[in-house]
A and B are shown apart, each in its own frame.
Chain A
Amino acid sequence: MLSVTSEVRGAHAVVHLVGQVQSEENEAFAAGLAGLLGLSARRLILDCSDLDYLNSRGLGDLLSFYQELKARGGELAVAGARPAVLKVMGVVGLDRFLGAYPSVEAVEQAWAGR
């Protein structure tokens, strides 16, 4: 099971990923990410604190989404990722491209005043 929900907080939005990205959820995950491109905010924080599993196809979809968002002038940060999910992101260096923060609040502090 997976849910992708977002809340706009001023100039940025927090995207909550809850559940697992397994083969059964890959299509829903890709669709959920694509839907985020319609948000008014272009700076997004991916709250991964309740994301339990991310497979390679999900990782690929996340990479594509990041590239699309970046091409539109957007910015993406990962917050609160659990160790296994962080390791998966680290396989392709996604944690370094995006910046991996311990919490949503930590990203908001880092982005404050920008």
Chain B
Amino acid sequence: MVHRELVVPNDTQYLATVREEVTKVVEQSAFAPRDRKLLILAVDEAVTNIMEHAYDNDLEGELDVELILEADATRFEVIIRDSGKEFDPSSVDIPDIAKHVSKGQKHGLGIFMIRQIMDEINYTYIHGEKNQLQMIKYVDRAKRREAGGR
């Protein structure tokens, strides 16, 4: 099993560092190359969302985002903690993405992508303290989807 922990300031210039760390973990996982790219993207989108929306502008770079990354032969898991505004990405309602897109609305695509990529998204808010987002993807489900052409 591979396990890495990372703490970065809430500034989008550190997204490259986040992607590099996720890459190191998924490269040691059992996922196919396509799914490794998608896992990097899912974490990238989740952290981008936190850095861009969870904090007031004057706090950019002043607070931290923590990541715990794990992968083994069966799964990839990430836990992301931040002390920004309460936000549960699994609660965002995107009823009809085709209609959403046809109206030229671009917001929400990142959350939608995360939901399409990950198998489990669990959100916890510790009142007045931290948001915790846990996301998991399973190797066997990814292989079944691949075999089914999806």
Chain A hits for B16, CB < 8 A: 22, 24
In whole angstroms, how far apart are the Cα atoms of A87 and B41 in the complex? Answer: 11
Within 8 A of B (CB), among A61-114: 61, 63-64, 67, 82-84, 87-88, 91-94
In whole angstroms, how far apart are the Cα atoms of A24 and B15 in the complex? Answer: 9
In whole angstroms, how far apart are the Cα atoms of A114 and B46 in the complex? Answer: 43
B146's nearest neighbour on chain A, judged by CB, is A83
Against A, the Cβ 8 Å flags (1 = close, 0 = not) of B26-41 are 0000000110011011
- Per the CB 8 Å criterion, the residue count for chain B at the interface is 24
Complex contact A93–B37 (CB within 8 A): no
- Per the CB 8 Å criterion, the residue count for chain A at the interface is 23
Q: Which residues of A contact B (CB under 8 A)?
A: 22-24, 52-53, 55-57, 59-61, 63-64, 67, 82-84, 87-88, 91-94
Q: Which residues of B contact A (CB under 8 A)?
A: 12, 15-16, 19, 33-34, 37-38, 40-41, 44-45, 48, 97-98, 101, 104, 106-107, 109-110, 112-113, 116
